[in-house]
Amino acid sequence: AGAVAVLNKEKNFKDYQQVYNAIAEKVRDQDDADDGAGRYGLLTRLAWHSSGTYDKNTNTGGSYNGSMIYSPESTDGENAGLEVARDFLVEFHYLFPWLSRGDLWTLGGVVAVQECGGPKIPWRPGRKDLEDRKKVPENGNLPDASRDADYVRKVFTRLGFDERETVALIGAHCLGKCHTDRSGYDGPWGPSFNMFTNDFYVRLLQNWHVRKWDGKKQYEDDETSSFMMLPTDYALKEDSKFLKYVKMYAEDQDLFFKDFSKAFSALLEKGIEYPKDVKPFEFKTLDEQED
Ligand code: CCH
């Protein structure tokens, strides 16, 4: 059997909204962290990497087990820096001991996207902490940013996404930044790195050149030399099938929000089977609750 969601009958929407609020308040308190990026990008990346180990061919991996605290997943080079995200969230394991790691980490991503102006991300609980050490995924499932469009297509096909969903998901690179001491790449993708927007696509369509520096190959924008694109980001522009969606989202932020919401929500649930009729929660932002 696959990973079947375990639903806690004693907890309802209000309990989960309370967890959402607790995380959101801490995120708000740390708005200045990471030179102004806040925690939006970091928590979105944790939710994505905890889910991005999924392999549809074997129906293994994904967010269900909260396995990233165990090696070799914890020490996967692609997860470098995510110990900061897990540390940020660890107090909520104590405040809400009934919540699993997988639920907490994916909910952290929902909070991050929604609190910085992104779309609502429908979310369901029911992940269960790892019981069998053999189920810790091997390294090699999370994408390597030095590669090309065919590689990106292969990784996201393995995750169960089509080209349109792939382009929509990578638009999360509007948030946060690269850190030389984590991935070896450097800098943010744009100036509004603490706001969820379609800026990634708008910017990608502008002019870029390979940055001259001692580090890994990355692109820098012709106009200001202040922003970056990874080789895998730039590959979306070089591949006509991907480019079509880059242009579409650059022109229509509402459409990007709609597609991102659906794809990210699906990403967080990869490999999880839900009993019939389990409706996703749609959390209110802190701002909405203050009205
Ligand atoms: Fe990403 N990402 N990502 N990414 N990512 C990095 C940072 C973020 C790739 C590589 C990198 C997605 C897809 C891809 C975020 C969200 C998503 C970094 C820098 C690399 C490298 C890490 C560092 O140094 O801190 C590659 C390759 C792919 C696909 O091919 C997808 C999908 C998502 C979410 C839906 C976010 C957010 C960040 C910023 C992290 C931060 O700390 O600010």
Look up the CATH number of domain 3-142+264-290: 1.10.520.10
pLDDT at position 132: 84
Q: Is the CB of 179 under 6 A from ligand 1?
A: yes
Give distance in angstroms: CA of 173 to centre of ligand 1: 6
Of 48, 49, 123, 173, the active-site residue reads: 49
- Report d(CA 208, CA 251) in Å as an integer: 19
Q: Is the CB of 49 under 6 A from ligand 1?
A: no
Q: Is the CB of 228 under 6 A from ligand 1?
A: no
Q: Which of 45, 161, 169, 239 to mutate to test the pocket of ligand 1 (most atoms within 8 A of CB)?
A: 45
Per-residue confidence in pLDDT tens, the chain, 291 aa: 579 999 999 999 999 999 999 999 999 999 999 999 999 999 999 999 999 999 999 999 999 999 999 999 999 999 999 999 999 999 999 999 999 999 999 999 999 999 999 999 999 999 999 988 889 999 999 999 999 999 999 999 999 999 999 999 999 999 999 999 999 999 999 999 999 999 999 999 999 999 999 999 999 999 999 999 999 999 999 999 999 999 999 999 999 999 999 999 999 999 999 999 899 999 999 999 997
**Best CA proximity match to 162, nearest among 257, 235, 230, 259:** 259
Q: What ipTM does this complex have?
A: 0.99
Where are the alpha helices (H) located in 61-220, listed in sequence order? 82-95, 101-115, 149-158, 163-170, 199-204
Q: Which of 30, 48, 86 to mutate to test the pocket of ligand 1 (most atoms within 8 A of CB)?
A: 48
Active site residue 209: no
| CA nearest ligand 1 atom 5, residue | 45
What topology does CATH give the domain 149-254? Peroxidase; domain 2 (1.10.420)
Is 75 within 8 Å of 35 (Cβ atoms)?
no
Q: Is the CB of 108 under 6 A from ligand 1?
A: no
**Best CA proximity match to 270, nearest among 118, 131, 156:** 156
| CA nearest ligand 1 atom 11, residue | 145
pLDDT at position 1: 53
**Domain definitions of the chain by residue range:** 3-142+264-290, 149-254
Q: How many CB atoms lie within 10 A of CB 243?
A: 17
Q: Is the CB of 152 under 6 A from ligand 1?
A: yes
Of 48, 105, 123, 189, the active-site residue reads: 189
Q: How many helices (H) and strands (E) does the chain have?
A: 12, 7
Active site residue 189: yes
| CA nearest ligand 1 atom 9, residue | 145
